[in-house]
Structure 1
Amino acid sequence: MFDVEIGKGTGKMGKSAAIAELWRGGQLESTHFGHAVICGADGSIEAAWGDPGTVIFPRSSCKMMQALPLMESGAGRDLTPKQLGLVCASHNGAAIHREAVAAWLGDMGLTEADLRCGVQEPADRAERDLLIKTDASPCQWHNNCSGKHSGFLMLNKHLGGHAEYIEADHPVQMAVKAAHEEVTGEVSAGFGVDGCSAPNYSTSLQGLGRAMAYFACAEEGGDARANAAYRLSRGMMAHPEMVAGEGRACTALMRAMGGRVAIKTGAEAVFVAIIPELKKGIALKVMDGGTRGAELAITALLVRLGVLDAAHPVVGQYLNTVERSRRGIECGSLRVAAGFGV
């Protein structure tokens, strides 16, 4: 199991499965290995590859879980669907994200200085070019987790906590930990500090899949937690542009599914999906941390379950893609490994 202290945990990791293969010149060049699980309405495993008991850090894939206390406390009752997409986001730092965070903080009487996520250069090219042209500097509004942290600040105002809301023993993070353990159905083995400086609690793949299935089954008008889970997932589905941004798999794939499914990536090749119409949840982890393997894997599983049309043009961007040289010559392909997703 993970030790709480970063770098000293060994982790529980079972035998992984081949997920994606890169072929070049008729030879297998690289293989991405990992673990994946599909959980049903009762949290049980309906399909798995690798070891669903593997313990991981979910990283940003669990942002909707981290936002549960904000919503079930009532602090976020008046948030719009667009803001709910933002609170679950790992966004590009584009103008639409920066402006939304700035406005939200302003409405709370707070400023950029109240955030504790850290400064990050925006991934959005237009926003980055604007900073260069105006000789301006990136700030915490651009941080891909600034929406989540705005939610932490809103909850903190409600709870009356001190300014350092990212500390593990702060009331905000204690509420996040409790919600995390309840929806995963597991006592977390510990936490690591995420890139945005907040605690990130470990869980098994099955626990993460079980949590996503809970979100998939949540209905409007239920108890406080179910209503919170429903609103958060529907905010993501309604505003995929806020969850990630242009050129990102989360946004592109959610658009392709027409607001029927919420998906979310996390650093180091984690991906989850919430599928209300099937009352199922997906969680996966590619062990080498490679984004291309994780994007292929989530696309393959969404196609397998019939919620993503295999003929949709976006599928070809992530599933069985063609590798080309810089002169445009076809030189290889990234394929689903035999046995994965079937």
Structure 2
Amino acid sequence: MSDPVDFVELWRGGMLESVHCGHAIVVDEAGEIVQAWGDPHAVIYPRSSAKMLQALPMVESGVADRFGLSPQLLALSCASHSAAAIHTDKVQAWLRYLELGDDAFRCGPNWPMDTTARNAMIKSDATPCRYHNECSGKHCGFLTMTKANGWGPDYIEVDHPLQVLIKRTIEEVTGEDSPAWGIDGCSAPNFATSLLGMGRAMAKYACADDATTRGAAMVRLRDAMMAHPELVANDDRACTQLMRAANGQGAFKTGAEGYFVAILPEKRLGVALKIVDGSQRARDCAIASILCRLGVLDKDDPVVNSYRNPDVVNFAGLITGDIRPSAAIA
């Protein structure tokens, strides 16, 4: 990832203390670069920002309709949720509908990010299950495909028919071959692609319509995310809060290690960015800043500003500095 651009700065006492660098791209409906910062051809793991691509075969194959999956479950299939009750109740119900148990998941257990759910488990001396995993909605989609096609249970293996299909789909939508894969936090393969490839894929989602089977599937996933932002992440997280602030203008999705994508149907644009050091604070600041530049978010909205230009507060509650976008993206 050569030649990254300074994206996000931390200022303290009137002095620049830290800088986060990154790459970002805005792509139009023709797959052309509208604007780029850094290296648009940098090959990166998109991590959870690829979930709407991983869910696409389930919808375009007709499996989602065969199993009667609602828009809420489609949103969950694209989610990195916080394991609040609104998430885990639906995941468990979906799993029961498939006549499967928690051990069918190939993701590992982890503690809820949702404070209420986590504290309740601690107070009751409970231990986390696999359905608490933030990727369990995606894995429910994987299990639905596996059950529908009679495939074997080890659906996270890279040579499993499901992952072969997902890789092919990702390559078709990004318009390029994936040169590498790595194991994601949820144990599933994550297929590398260039930043331009992901921007191109997001632009295809933004411009999709019902004229083709794939286009119609993209519309359903995109619209499910926008209709149910609380299921894509949680009420206190960037995906959910920024989608609400956008008032129906886009579907946004984080990925680990500083990745973020945006699908902008009204603008007919796709956005992808990567913070080189993997910082979450920089990732959220950068995407909010770029979406403000594009007129999708209002920089004066307090929610948007809490990501774009948040105060740095110490343990005594004193404001000690602030995080802000660099001149390149401000």
> TM-score under structure 1 normalisation?
0.94
Query: In structure 2, what is the Cα distance between the partners aligned to 1:324 and 1:199?
Result: 38
Aligned to 1:70: 58
SS of the aligned residue for 1:273 comes to strand
Aligned to 1:339: 328
Aligned to 2:306: 317
The CA deviation at 1:159 is 1.7
Query: In structure 1, what is the Cα distance between the partners aligned to 2:315 and 2:287?
Result: 27
Aligned to 2:230: 241
The question of whether the paired residues in 2 share the 8 Å contact of 1:159 and 1:171 is answered with no
Aligned to 1:188: 178
Aligned to 1:82: 72
What is the number of residues matched between the two proteins?
328
Q: 1:1-342 alignment to 2 at 5 Å?
A: 13-77=1-65, 78-219=68-209, 221-341=210-330
SS of the aligned residue for 2:308 comes to coil
Instruction: Give deviations 1:146-185, integer Å, cap 9, x for gaps.
Output: 0000000101112211010110010110110011000000
The question of whether the paired residues in 1 share the 8 Å contact of 2:293 and 2:329 is answered with no
1:300 maps to a residue whose letter is S
Aligned to 1:5: none
Query: In structure 2, what is the Cα distance between the partners aligned to 1:214 and 1:325?
Result: 43
SS of the aligned residue for 2:64 comes to coil
SS of the aligned residue for 1:318 comes to helix
1:296 maps to a residue whose letter is C
SS of the aligned residue for 2:273 comes to strand
Query: In structure 1, what is the Cα distance between the partners aligned to 2:124 and 2:299?
Result: 43
Query: In structure 1, what is the Cα distance between the partners aligned to 2:220 and 2:99?
Result: 25
The question of whether the paired residues in 1 share the 8 Å contact of 2:75 and 2:221 is answered with yes
The question of whether the paired residues in 2 share the 8 Å contact of 1:213 and 1:274 is answered with yes
Query: In structure 2, what is the Cα distance between the partners aligned to 1:222 and 1:138?
Result: 43
The CA deviation at 1:24 is 1.0
1:326 maps to a residue whose letter is F
Structure 2 gaps of 5+ residues are none
Query: In structure 2, what is the Cα distance between the partners aligned to 1:335 and 1:114?
Result: 44
Query: In structure 1, what is the Cα distance between the partners aligned to 2:56 and 2:48?
Result: 14
The question of whether the paired residues in 2 share the 8 Å contact of 1:14 and 1:53 is answered with no
Structure 1 gaps of 5+ residues are 1-12
The question of whether the paired residues in 1 share the 8 Å contact of 2:158 and 2:164 is answered with yes
The question of whether the paired residues in 2 share the 8 Å contact of 1:270 and 1:283 is answered with yes
1:138 maps to a residue whose letter is P
Q: Which runs of 4+ in 1 moved over 4 A?
A: none
The CA deviation at 1:260 is 2.2
Query: In structure 1, what is the Cα distance between the partners aligned to 2:246 and 2:81?
Result: 19
Query: In structure 2, what is the Cα distance between the partners aligned to 1:320 and 1:259?
Result: 23
> TM-score under structure 2 normalisation?
0.97
Query: In structure 2, what is the Cα distance between the partners aligned to 1:95 and 1:131?
Result: 12
Query: In structure 1, what is the Cα distance between the partners aligned to 2:304 and 2:296?
Result: 12
Instruction: Give deviations 1:114-134, integer Å, cap 9, x for gaps.
Output: 111111111111111111222
The CA deviation at 1:247 is 1.2
